[in-house]
Amino acid sequence: MSETSADSIGALAIYSVRDGLVWQGGIAPGDRYLGIDFTGADWDAIFYRLLHCPKPEPYSEAENLTSYEERYRRRFQEHLSDFPMLSRISDLYRDVGYATYEVAALS
């Protein structure tokens, strides 16, 4: 998680899948790509500019990478404690799933 330009950090493709708990990046029967990509610029606009989420601190090789990522994930989730589903998306490069009952509760 290094701090980079929003234009260069990739995209998160949005899929609708039947079983998000077993999805591993492949499309099974009934799953589909929604034609929506959440880009680095989108991330910057929503999480940093709109919601004022903390940005990752510079990484030091003196710190264990797993500890560093976990510390940032906790800070991010604490900041978005009023939005628990949104707070799960603490990293553009990690998949996030939502159960059907969670999505249904949003309507």
**Digit-coded pLDDT (tens) for 1-19:** 444 444 446 788 888 887 7
> Does the model's pTM come out above 0.95?
no
CA contacts within 13 A on the Cβ side of 86: 12
33: tokens are: 């790509």
Distance between first and last Cα of the chain: 33
Alpha-carbon gap, residue 52 to 36, rounded angstroms: 23
Q: Name 40's Cβ contacts closer than 8 Å, sequence gap at least 6.
A: 4, 5, 6, 7, 8, 9, 10, 11, 92
What are the domain boundaries of the chain? Answer: 6-99
| pLDDT score, position 19 | 76
| CA 40 remoteness from chain centre | 11
Alpha-carbon gap, residue 93 to 35, rounded angstroms: 18
Residue 19 near residue 100, CB atoms below 8 Å: no
pLDDT in tens, 37-55: 888 899 899 999 999 999 9
Alpha-carbon gap, residue 76 to 70, rounded angstroms: 10
